Amino acid sequence: MHIHILGICGTFMGGLAAIAREAGHRVTGCDANVYPPMSDQLRALGIDLIEGFDAAQLQLHPDLFVVGNVVTRGNALIEAILDAGAPMTSGPQWLAEQVLQGRHVLAVAGTHGKTTTTSMLAWILESAGFEPGFLVGGVPCNFGISARLGHGRCFVIEADEYDTAFFDKRSKFVHYRPRTAVLNNLEFDHADIFADLAAIETQFHHLVRTVPASGRLVVNAREDALARVLARGCWSEVLRFGSRKEEPGSLRARGEPHAFDVLRGSLKVGRVEWSLLGEHNQLNALAAIGAAEHVGVEPQAAAAALAGFRNVRRRLERVGEAAGVTVYDDFAHHPTAMRTTVDGLRRKVGLQRILAVFEPRSNTMKLGSMKAQLPWALEEADLAFCLQGPYGWSAREALAPMGERAVVADDVDALVAAIVKFARPGDHVLAMSNGSFGGLHGRLLQALARA
């Protein structure tokens, strides 16, 4: 089959393209911006890429157009496809029908930690000899790729609540029909498509409705929003994790995030010792262990496997050091994720200074829906630096409660100059963005080396 993918350079659609190619399909694709590293990865797989969405691509005559959610009505190629009545489907629907059908799907959902927990779960199953397929919204360092078809019966997928396509406004994850579903946490996000938290809870309820009675829901016991989701109806086994007190049957941790026992009730069932930081990763580990158990991996073996887990690229990733200043890259863009990331680094560096640098780039942040939470998100940092973009709201006003601890710049060059001015040997610069941040990391290291 020849499939032509619209929006192919996104993480999800790029992963889907790689899986389709591995399955033997002829794959081509297009996107508004075709650039490395995704473009290089796809071309290395023999996938032809086209810049833009011109209607002439209709003449490729693929068997099927697979449409990513980045594409909207008014797009020239979409209008041509609709006018011609050409066959089309969404990425999640294609994946469900062509790849997931008949497999044991383990889906990881939640506002935060999806990519990391999905990667942990895939690594646990790999270590146990399952040879799972997976599709992750990042690049797990243990695998070096974001997606593969796999040879085993299990397929691990990052289950996103964002909408499916311009013609299907359901969340992506309702297509996956998981037998094992992790509900990691739930907060308000995606303000561009959801009116409030209740609207997202409804989508999570729809996901719960697709899990069979023989399935398992692995649920964060600390989340009131997830409790409300389950209260609307639950037809599957529920394994809770992360409770701060002993609860029969549930999984919890005892010890520091880098070295802790895994308990079921009061019984120790495993121990995790690894290099990851932060209580959030401790919870992610419990979720992955609980999900892996459902396909036959004992918690003790799962916990042992995590000792070899190398995290995901752009998750508190050290990118370099210059003039005694260490620079990290992180994907955090929601205030809660930012706070969690800063806190994780604080555990590592102790009293050394943290200079937190962030770009409000996500659709939710651009709308200013969470601007009031920014001082809270950054309070553990010694200094905060923000890139002011064309958001319709003032970052300077939002960060005013931080006083002189906050610096706002109008472009990346000015931001780099401000960081260099304040940085001193022994500092740790944490750059947080869900995009490339204008190449800030490399430019900052060069500027520090020259200073």
What's the per-residue H, E or C state across 333-381? CCHHHHHHHHHHHHHHHCCCCEEEEECCCCHHHHCCCCHHHHHHHCCCC
Q: What is the mean pLDDT of the chain?
A: 91
In a domain, 209, yes or no: yes
Residue 302 shares a structural domain with residue 325: no
3-state secondary structure 156-220: EEECCCCEEECCEEEEHHHHCCCCEEEECCCCCCCCCCCCCHHHHHHHHHHHHHCCCCCCEEEEE
Residue 281 shares a structural domain with residue 207: yes
Residue 280 shares a structural domain with residue 346: no
Q: Residue 192: is its pLDDT beyond 80?
A: no
Q: How many domains does the chain have?
A: 3
End-to-end CA distance of the chain: 56
Q: Is 12 exposed, middle or buried (0-12, 13-18, 19+ CB in 10 A)?
A: buried
Mean pLDDT within 374-391: 87
Q: Which domain holds residue 40?
A: 2-91
Q: How many CA atoms lie within 13 A of 274 on its CB side?
A: 22
Q: Residue 364: is its pLDDT beyond 90?
A: no
Residue 136 shares a structural domain with residue 237: yes
Report which listed range, 121-130, 274-283, 321-330, 357-366, is most confident: 121-130
Mark which of 308, 330, 351 sits at the end of a domain. Answer: 308
Query: How far is C-alpha 379 from the chain's CA centre?
Result: 24
Residue 38 shares a structural domain with residue 119: no
Confidence band of 35 (pLDDT split at 50, 70, 90):
low
Mean pLDDT within 161-167: 92
Q: How far apart are CA 356 and CA 406, in angstroms?
A: 9
Mark which of 255, 277, 308 sits at the end of a domain. Answer: 308
Confidence band of 191 (pLDDT split at 50, 70, 90):
low
**Model pLDDT, residue 60:** 96
pLDDT top residue among 213 and 315: 213
CATH number of the domain at 445, please: 3.90.190.20
In a domain, 18, yes or no: yes
pLDDT digits (tens, 9 = 90+) for 56-74: 999 999 999 999 999 999 9
